Structure 1
Amino acid sequence: MMITEREINKDTQPLLDVDNLQIQFKTDSGILKAVNGVSFRIEPGKTLGLVGESGCGKSITSKAMIGLQPKNSQVSGEIKLDQKSVGQPGTMVDLVKLKPGGKEIRAIRGSRIAMIFQEPMTAFSPLYTIGNQVMESILLHRTKDKREAKEMTIDILRKVGIANPEKRFEQYPHEFSGGMMQRAMIAMALSCKPELLIADEPTTALDVTIQAQVLELMKQLQQEFGMAILFITHDLGIVAEMCDEVAVMYLGQIVEQTTVRNLFHHPKHPYTQGLLRSIPKIGSGVKRLESIEGTVPIPLNMPPMCGFYDRCSQRIPGVCNTRHVPSTQVAPDHLVSCFLYEAGQEEGGAAR
């Protein structure tokens, strides 16, 4: 089920190029493959949505980009970052080869690649003020002058829409509401003007009104800073609003990758089709939403077969459960890993 081709936007130099990323854990029961051959590219200034159910490997994929994967994990493959902004045009540094706690990755983490973590309530330390925690990254990457760093911190707090930032600078996390905490987390991530922002479900714990404000804020700041965004979510409505391209992830693998327009108008993989059918539509008259039966299996000692086989209504017995799924380019900007679109199967698959 591995998409490894470089057909989407292959003529442009990507900011980040992930190729055949694998993250494994040794357990008493065998090898658990949390990420199994993930490949995608992120272009400068663009937004890629990484979509899938909980447990599909989205978050651990993003953490591997900044060297925050669990210590007991084994990481292989390539995560290459363009070096043009540091005076080395045309060259790429492989982040997988950097020591997780080393000087090189620490210079990149928080500066060139920043991350909005999934739970801001637990991402901030309750022992320090919001201002000190946001300022820490500025002191590390931009200036050693504390007065200047404080001014920069207050400025970024103001930019993310926090009222009276001078006062809020001195307050602790428990004095912030959920929406304000999310804005403070965005401020921390953007404090060093990163080239790539990883947003790991940044609106999950917010009500719809605050969610809309945060999404609009992120789009505005993306235009201002010219940064790329990797947007991790399970909400396809957010994908439609925020993203240029989408990679659908299932069981540690990318099963479909294309533009947002293609995903919503021409979904190919049965898993993607199931996700889209589960979205409520205004005026559709449908009283009961469809659901994908079953749960994501544990990727432990998986045989060579389609990981979606047991949940798929279009499965082909004797084919989908006997070997690894090929990757097929069904359009110039559309890749899918499904036996229905393998050479000679597409017509039959389309009719199923």
Structure 2
Amino acid sequence: MPLLDVKNLTVEIDTGSVFVKALDKVSLTVETGEIRALVGESGSGKSLIVRAIIGAIPDHWIITADRLTWKGQNLLGMSNEQRRIIMRREIAVVFQDPTSSLDPSATLISQLEESIPEELLDKGMFWHRNKQRRQIAVGLMHKVGIKNHEACMQRYPHEIAADIAQKFMIAMALVSEPELLIADDPTRSMESTTKNQILRLLSGLNETRKLAILFVSHDLLAISSMAHTMTVLYCGQTVESGKVKHLHRRPLHPYTKALLDSAPSFQINLPPKSHLVALPGTIPTLKHLPIGCRLGPRCPNARKECVKVPEQKMVHQHSYSCHFPLHSPVDDDLENKQ
């Protein structure tokens, strides 16, 4: 049984005059010890999936799903208190913008110490517990790459660089020793050295603690270096999902291929000064969504059958939603077995 199981998740947003489906039957799973990447353009709904999982959807929005479970427990059927208990100890989240996620009126060290669960502290006098909190907090800061911890402990979020604030967010997420870490673009705006350090940290935690990670990003290089599986999202619909190496080698959906082709690092024989590959057009707005397959107006393989929503098809552990896949699923089946 997977840790996180999302099946046909749909989120409808109230625009004032009509409800629009920002997410339309999105499906993904995260197994114990798995790093799953969630990939897509900006505006494709990646962060909205994260908010649906953690229960941060406004009450006036409509959220439905065949399954939205954590270790077999129905998240949609839980009370807010039950959901908070799970988010407190078992699922941790690192958000895109660390500065807006931290409390602007509290110092960084006080926020980090406050996030340490009581269960992790030894029983004893309060001054012993306070000392232990400080030791745990300093150890976490060193683990996430904040070596000069004294220079930023008493600072407020607006007084530090964005990458240091992001490292504090990661430390606060790891302090409860969760089973699943949801990292929503955690390396955005980081320099390459710092980004590689964070990626190595997450990969190391996955290997040593079997920490499951849902890595939300559009950085294909970062994903290819650490993720085991990948789910590709376009305009609120999942278009393809499978092992990273299979999707890189033989994508079935035109959008997945376009994403990979847009990254020069994945094209071995790319001549110098070549034009970057890009699909024509732009991602549609929620109020003007195409009928059927949402990629249709931009898809180079679109035909009249694409006005119908394609069903999800599965070839072993490789799923896709396309009327006209780029390769024969039978051939892909044979390759996956090799």
2:48 to 48, 60, 63: 60
Q: Is the 1:50–1:231 contact (alpha carbons within 8 Å) kept by the matching residues of 2?
A: yes
Identity %: 35
How many residues matched? 320
1:291 to 278, 282, 296: 278
Measure how far apart 1:176 and its partner are.
Answer: 2.7
Of 203-212 and 47-56, more deviation after overlay is shown by 203-212
The separation in 2 between residues aligned to 1:98 and 1:79, in whole angstroms, is 11
Q: Is the 2:290–2:296 contact (alpha carbons within 8 Å) kept by the matching residues of 1?
A: no
Measure how far apart 1:142 and its partner are.
Answer: 4.4
Q: Is the 1:49–1:243 contact (alpha carbons within 8 Å) kept by the matching residues of 2?
A: yes
Output the amino acid matched with 1:285: P
2:193 to 199, 209, 216: 209
Output the amino acid matched with 1:332: H
Output the amino acid matched with 2:46: K
- Pair 208,283 (structure 1): closer, same or farther in 2 beyond 3 Å: farther
Measure how far apart 1:276 and its partner are.
Answer: 1.0
Partner of 2:252: helix, strand, or coil? coil
Q: Is the 1:247–1:256 contact (alpha carbons within 8 Å) kept by the matching residues of 2?
A: yes
Q: Is the 1:46–1:227 contact (alpha carbons within 8 Å) kept by the matching residues of 2?
A: yes
1:79 aligns with 2:68: yes
Q: Is the 1:154–1:169 contact (alpha carbons within 8 Å) kept by the matching residues of 2?
A: no
Output the amino acid matched with 2:107: T
1:261 aligns with 2:245: yes
Partner of 1:310: 297
The separation in 2 between residues aligned to 1:224 and 1:346, in whole angstroms, is 37
2:10 to 18, 22, 37: 22
- Pair 20,142 (structure 1): closer, same or farther in 2 beyond 3 Å: farther
Q: Is the 2:32–2:212 contact (alpha carbons within 8 Å) kept by the matching residues of 1?
A: yes
Structure 1 unmatched runs, 5+: 1-12, 83-91, 348-352
- Pair 122,345 (structure 1): closer, same or farther in 2 beyond 3 Å: closer
Partner of 1:7: none
Q: Is the 2:50–2:182 contact (alpha carbons within 8 Å) kept by the matching residues of 1?
A: yes
Once the two structures are superposed, residues 193-225 of structure 1 have per-residue CA deviations (whole angstroms, 9 ceiling, x without a partner) of 110000001111112222111111221223333
Measure how far apart 1:139 and its partner are.
Answer: 4.3
1:222 to 182, 206, 211: 206
Q: Is the 1:255–1:269 contact (alpha carbons within 8 Å) kept by the matching residues of 2?
A: yes
Q: Is the 2:145–2:197 contact (alpha carbons within 8 Å) kept by the matching residues of 1?
A: no
The separation in 2 between residues aligned to 1:28 and 1:180, in whole angstroms, is 39
Output the amino acid matched with 1:309: G
Measure how far apart 1:110 and its partner are.
Answer: 3.3
- Pair 141,325 (structure 1): closer, same or farther in 2 beyond 3 Å: farther
1:121 to 99, 103, 115: 99
1:327 aligns with 2:312: yes
Q: Which runs of 4+ in 1 moved over 6 A?
A: 344-347
The separation in 2 between residues aligned to 1:304 and 1:117, in whole angstroms, is 32
Q: CA RMSD in A?
A: 2.3
Of 147-156 and 112-121, more deviation after overlay is shown by 147-156
Partner of 2:78: 98
Partner of 2:231: helix, strand, or coil? strand
Structure 2 unmatched runs, 5+: 332-338
Once the two structures are superposed, residues 311-347 of structure 1 have per-residue CA deviations (whole angstroms, 9 ceiling, x without a partner) of 011111x2112x1112222x312111000049x9999
Measure how far apart 1:167 and its partner are.
Answer: 5.4
- Pair 289,180 (structure 1): closer, same or farther in 2 beyond 3 Å: same
The separation in 1 between residues aligned to 2:248 and 2:295, in whole angstroms, is 20
Output the amino acid matched with 1:19: K
Partner of 1:49: helix, strand, or coil? strand
Measure how far apart 1:183 and its partner are.
Answer: 1.3
The separation in 2 between residues aligned to 1:328 and 1:228, in whole angstroms, is 26
Partner of 1:33: 21
Of 171-180 and 182-191, more deviation after overlay is shown by 171-180
1:180 to 140, 151, 164: 164
Partner of 2:334: none
Of 149-158 and 307-316, more deviation after overlay is shown by 149-158
Measure how far apart 1:274 and its partner are.
Answer: 0.8
Q: What TM-score comes out, normalization by structure 1 length?
A: 0.84
The separation in 2 between residues aligned to 1:234 and 1:215, in whole angstroms, is 14
2:146 to 162, 179, 182: 162
